[in-house]
Amino acid sequence: MKVKRIVANIQTKKISAAKRFYERILGLELLMDHGWLATYGNSAKMMVQISFASQGGSNTPVPDLSIEVDDVDEAYRRMKKGRFKIEYALTEEPWGVRRFFVRDPFGRTVNILEHL
């Protein structure tokens, strides 16, 4: 048996709030909309991963989601322009990533990162 996919499910009564953050700013596509469930993604092939952590690195809190992008500086600029709350400033970490933490519309901490 192989795990084929892992999906993050975020409970909310305001599903439409995902559109601005996840579609307009991060560029994900609306893949499925059942009214009670909206799924965003893209057609890129990705590795299946799930992480367990005692801290978020550099003594930060563990983020709820981690999203790898190809241009973290552009993602940071878009989040600031969109007035989303930056929880951890754009930082180059000793383990080879540049990242920042931002609060999504549902109060989740999202780690946006780019591998160096």
- Model confidence, pTM: 0.94
Residue pointed to by tokens 């190809």: 70
Per-residue pLDDT of the chain (116 residues), as tens digits, is 998 989 999 999 999 999 999 999 999 999 999 999 999 999 999 898 999 999 999 999 999 999 999 999 999 999 999 999 999 999 999 999 999 999 999 999 999 999 99
The whole-number pLDDT of residue 73 equals 98
Query: In this structure, what token pair is assigned to residue 33?
Result: 């909309």
Note every long-range contact of 21-24, with CB atoms under 8 Å and residues 24 or more positions apart, other chains counting: 21/82, 21/84, 21/104, 21/105, 22/104, 24/82
Output phi, psi for 95, to 5 deg. Answer: -95, 15
What domains are there in the chain, each with its CATH number? Answer: 15-115 (3.10.180.10)
Residue pointed to by tokens 């601005």: 20
